[in-house]
Structure formats: structure tokens, C-alpha cells
Structure 1
């Protein structure tokens, strides 16, 4: 049984050269007005990205789709309808 292919991006966020904490902050703005179901590709060279991005998606409620094929480290996620709020200054923490 093969995995479904990663869908093409509706939004691409370039996090080249950013640590995941900074990337999560940068990711907020482009996705805040996006509709549920939007596919986001995140360019992230930080070695922690394969762990931090799925964890961030799980915490908020988005669907982590996995790495995309290619030479560049790109990860895909699909925005969900009912997400959990996080702190605006620290999106890796839930909002009070």
C-alpha cells in the first residue's frame, strides 16, 4: 500500500536559515486568514524541523502531511477548522 502524494501548496512559507522557534512565529501571519483545508508548504533547513513541525501541528490541531519530495527540505501541513489557540509571542505554548 503506497502513501498518498503530498498535495501542491496553496501557501509556501520560506523559513530558510531560521530556527524552528522563529519559523513558527513567521508561520502565524501567512496562515491566520487562510481557510481550513489550505495546504501549506514550509521550507525549513533547521535539523529540528522534522520533529518540531509535526509537534506544532499536533499541538494546534493542523494536519501534518510530511516531507515533500525534492532536493530542498520542505514539509507540508493542512490547516484544520477547529484549532487550539497558542500564545502570540510563543506559538509553541498553549494560550491561557
Structure 2
């Protein structure tokens, strides 16, 4: 839920709307701010700054944070929402 709160706080979008879409498109400033917040909240490095796309897919972001922190976290797909796909990769989560 903290991942979703971070996305909603930075973008100003309704959390329910973000979950319904399954993703959030952001500009350069918002992208950096979301990463800074998440890395600060969870005291981890997410290795996302070099990603060319500026879309956060909720399930992928939750999985990245979970992998970086060693936490088992339910994604929106496992919580009952439809999963979404994008061209984003999660291979950067294993660094560090």
C-alpha cells in the first residue's frame, strides 16, 4: 500500500484510479521523485534511474520493492485486480 500511496501522492491521481489502470505514466521530475520516495521509505536501491520509460506498472513496482527489501508483498493482481503488461523489465531489481 505504501507503493500506491507514493504514486498517488506524487502524481495527485486517485489511488483507486491508479489501481484500476494498473500503471502510472509520469514526467521526468515525478519519475525521480517517486524513486527517491520509495528508496527512502524502504531504505533500498531500486536501480530504476536508467530505465528509458517513465511508466510505473503497479505490480512490477511492488515486485521490485519486495525483491529489494526481501519482503513478501501481495500485488494488485493477487489482490483481485487484473494484471497489466508493459515493456518494462524487472531485471534491475537483482543488482546491489
Which of structures 1 and 2 has the bigger CA Rg? 1
Please state which structure has a larger fraction of its residues in helix: 2
TM-score between both structures, scaled by the size of structure 1: 0.30
TM-score between both structures, scaled by the size of structure 2: 0.30
